[in-house]
């Protein structure tokens, strides 16, 4: 008998050789019908894999991320079989599951695959899926595996196998199709009910531009047609919300080839929006005891050598700038933290003066590859809402919790209510990726986990996602479309104070090292605005809108009254503009709707005589005739629903 431990801690006894599916059926026949993958002792296994020893078993359904991964990995096998049948002689390479769906890279030889072929590929995949073919894993010796693919003339699979150890090589069979595979499949092909080929693109073999270019076919699949339909509808909505499209329509930002790729230009409305975001955070930071600092856009290379950034990122950054002086080199600033270390080092501190909290909206530069640039979400120059707190070890817990409160305030004020937190730890298997001693890392990691648990936050631990100098807490936000984004980060760092030899005098009159907290609630202004744009579809919270109201005059006869209304609104600190164009009121309303302006104020003969205004809300709701004072009160009430004052706990 063997003992199987389930996620709830319960232990069940079975005869050796029991399969994960047998265990699922023992729990419930209904549950078993939904199980599509499993993990035993942290290793992905098939649902029919015999279990021969005691261990922990997790059973996955479509509703689990791991279940989706197995589903999409299996679908990649079905895609590979379909491509082989439709395009004889092609050479298969690799086909993994990705965040949404899967792809397969193929050498198409004399064939070409275009959008016109998508429907026949989908039909062939569904035909294969309906055959209800079981996925079966079996081991293969290295010599037999090499012989098979050499006979097929597939040099790509041969290269993969040559890098594998004998005794670790497995094939997966379904129907009359065989592929090199490590495992992790659904029970059979019939579970796949709906497929969609999404796109086709070029991809170099193993990502090396010096190697052959392959054809990458992207697809996605679902256990129900309804779910595919919902997903495609979501994609259409995402296209409408694309921040690049909305940014252009709302005149927020632009890019110029002459200025350079990945270097955004903020237009007047976008610059004003950024300024409001900055002022919003500055006010909260001031209440929380932060001091604003300013640092230059360049610094001597030696600064980043000292911090460790040059060793970690130097090859992927902008190249050093040489000056006329012999041997003098500067770099565009990739990080603000080394500069803030030097500010702290400006004078000696006593423990009584800590913590010191330095904040800066600092622009940094990193050379992202041109193929990775994407609107505002991936740029080469961006502004971080950076701050660094220098505190004693005894103050660390309270300071970290205070930063959590600030991040939660920012999210609440901007409508990001659906989020989880991720504690990112170092990878113990790759210590060379990090700087600092083990005991320092252990203290920092424990401090973060303790603070998160005390705050009652819903968190997951991700090993290997830490920054090179310390662990961190990342806030993972779900937007209106259910997409997950990393927004806001807090990091604990014992290493940079050591590298920069930072000190404070303790109550024992001895010098000690401070602990450093890195934090950025927005992350970067560019990426935050992009995500906020897509989350709100351009309908920002009222306090943030570039224009909160537009005054539409029925004709030029009422221009003076429109201007008087504008003056009154400005006295109430309401951002408004007048549309006096010689256009129909219907056209003016349509354009105001397209520009996402929250309120339309219509003025004509009746309004001028009564001294009132007619108000229409974005989306069509008619609020009727009210006074300017009542409208101002309405605006302030709407703003106060989301923009509440920040009251840090002292």
Q: What is the largest CA-CA distance in the chain?
A: 94
- Active site residue: 157, 312, 518, 596, which one? 518
3 state SS for 530-597: HHHHHHHCCCCCCCCCCCCEEEEECCHHHHHHHHHHHHHHHHCCCCEEEECCCCCHHHHHHHHHHCCC
- Active site residue: 356, 472, 527, 616, which one? 472
* Residue 633: active-site member: no
Q: Is 480 helix (H, G, I), strand (E, B) or coil?
A: coil
* Residue 384: active-site member: yes
- Hey, what are 195's tokens? 């497929």
- Active site residue: 133, 196, 388, 616, which one? 388
* Residue 337: active-site member: yes
Residue 599: partners with Cβ closer than 8 Å, 6 or more residues away: 548, 549, 550, 615, 616, 617, 618, 631, 635
Strand partners, 493: 516
Cβ contact 345:500 at 8 Å: yes
How do strand 549-553 and strand 576-579 relate by DSSP bridges? parallel
Q: What is the DSSP string of 205-259?
A: GGG-TTS-EEEEEEEEEESSHHHHHHHHHHHHHHHHH-HHHHHHHTT-EE--TTT
Owner of token pair 């006074």: 627
- Active site residue: 105, 385, 386, 474, which one? 386
Phi and psi based region of residue 501 (left: phi greater than 0; alpha: psi -120 to 50; beta: remaining) = left
* Residue 374: active-site member: no
- Active site residue: 81, 285, 384, 548, which one? 384
* Residue 518: active-site member: yes
Question: Closest Cα partner for 399 from 362, 450, 460?
Answer: 450
Whether the ω angle into residue 355 lies within 30 degrees of 0, i.e. cis, is yes
- Active site residue: 337, 339, 395, 519, which one? 337
- Active site residue: 366, 519, 527, 535, which one? 366
Cβ contact 236:125 at 8 Å: no
CA 623 to chain centre: 39
* Residue 39: active-site member: no
- CA 316/CA 433 separation, integer angstroms: 15
How do strand 504-505 and strand 484-493 relate by DSSP bridges? unpaired
Catalytically active residues are: 337, 366, 384, 386, 388, 472, 518
């Amino acid at each position: 008998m063997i003992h199987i431990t389930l996620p709830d801690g319960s232990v069940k006894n079975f005869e050796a050789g029991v399969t994960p599916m047998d265990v699922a059926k023992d729990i419930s026949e209904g549950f078993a019908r939904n199980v599509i993958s499993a993990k035993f002792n942290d290793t992905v296994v098939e649902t029919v894999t015999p279990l021969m020893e005691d261990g922990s078993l997790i059973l996955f359904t479509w509703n689990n991320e791991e279940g989706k991964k197995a589903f999409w990995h299996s679908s990649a096998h079905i895609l590979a079989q379909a491509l082989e049948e439709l395009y004889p002689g092609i050479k298969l390479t690799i086909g993994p599951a990705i965040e949404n769906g899967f792809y397969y890279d193929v050498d198409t030889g004399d064939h070409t695959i275009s959008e016109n072929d998508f429907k026949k590929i989908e039909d062939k995949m569904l035909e294969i899926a309906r055959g209800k073919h079981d996925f079966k894993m079996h081991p293969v010796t290295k010599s037999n595996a090499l012989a098979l693919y050499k006979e097929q003339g597939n040099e790509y699979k041969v290269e993969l196998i040559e890098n594998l150890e004998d005794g670790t090589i497995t094939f997966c069979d379904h129907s009359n199709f065989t592929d090199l595979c490590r495992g992790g499949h659904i029970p059979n092909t019939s579970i796949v009910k709906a497929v969609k080929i999404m796109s086709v693109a070029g991809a170099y073999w193993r990502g090396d531009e010096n190697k052959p270019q392959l054809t990458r076919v992207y697809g996605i699949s679902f256990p129900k047609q309804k779910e595919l339909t919902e997903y495609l509808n979501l994609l259409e909505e995402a296209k409408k919300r694309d921040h690049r499209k909305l940014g252009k329509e709302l005149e927020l930002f632009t890019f110029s080839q002459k200025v350079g790729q990945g270097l955004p230009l903020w237009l007047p409305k976008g610059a004003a929006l950024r300024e409001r975001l900055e002022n919003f955070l500055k006010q909260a930071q001031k209440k929380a005891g932060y001091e604003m600092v300013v640092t230059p856009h360049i610094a001597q290379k030696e600064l980043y050598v000292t911090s460790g950034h040059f060793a970690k990122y130097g090859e992927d950054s902008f190249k050093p700038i040489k000056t006329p002086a012999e041997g003098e080199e500067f770099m565009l600033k990739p990080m603000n933290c080394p500069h803030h270390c030097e500010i702290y080092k400006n004078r000696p501190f006593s423990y009584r003066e800590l913590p010191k909290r330095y904040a800066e909206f600092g622009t940094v530069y990193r050379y992202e590859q041109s193929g990775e640039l994407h609107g505002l979400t991936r740029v080469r120059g961006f502004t971080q809402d950076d701050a660094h707190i220098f505190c004693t070890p005894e103050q660390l817990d309270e300071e970290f919790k205070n930063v959590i409160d600030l991040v939660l305030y920012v999210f609440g004020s901007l409508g990001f209510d659906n989020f989880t937190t991720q504690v990112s730890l170092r990878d113990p298997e790759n210590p060379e990726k990090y700087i600092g001693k083990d005991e320092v890392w252990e203290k920092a990691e424990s401090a973060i986990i303790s603070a998160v648990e005390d705050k009652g936050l819903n968190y997951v631990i991700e090993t290997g996602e830490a920054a090179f100098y310390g662990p961190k807490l990342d806030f993972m936000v779900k937007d209106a479309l259910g997409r997950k984004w990393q927004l806001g980060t807090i990091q604990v760092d014992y290493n940079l104070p050591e590298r920069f030899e930072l000190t404070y005098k303790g109550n024992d009159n001895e010098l000690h090292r401070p602990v450093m907290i890195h934090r950025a609630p927005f992350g970067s202004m560019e990426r935050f605005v992009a995500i906020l744009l897509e989350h709100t579809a351009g309908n920002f919270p009222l306090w943030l809108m570039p224009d909160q109201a537009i005054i539409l005059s029925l004709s030029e006869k009422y221009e003076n009254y429109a201007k008087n209304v504008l003056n009154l609104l400005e006295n109430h600190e309401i951002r408004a503009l007048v549309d006096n164009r010689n256009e129909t009121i219907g056209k003016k309303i349509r354009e105001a709707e397209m520009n996402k302006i929250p309120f339309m104020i219509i003025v004509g003969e009746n309004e001028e005589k009564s001294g009132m205004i007619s108000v229409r809300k974005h989306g069509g709701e008619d609020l009727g005739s009210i006074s300017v004072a009542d409208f101002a009160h309405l605006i302030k009430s709407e703003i106060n629903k989301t923009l509440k004052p920040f009251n840090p706990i002292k």
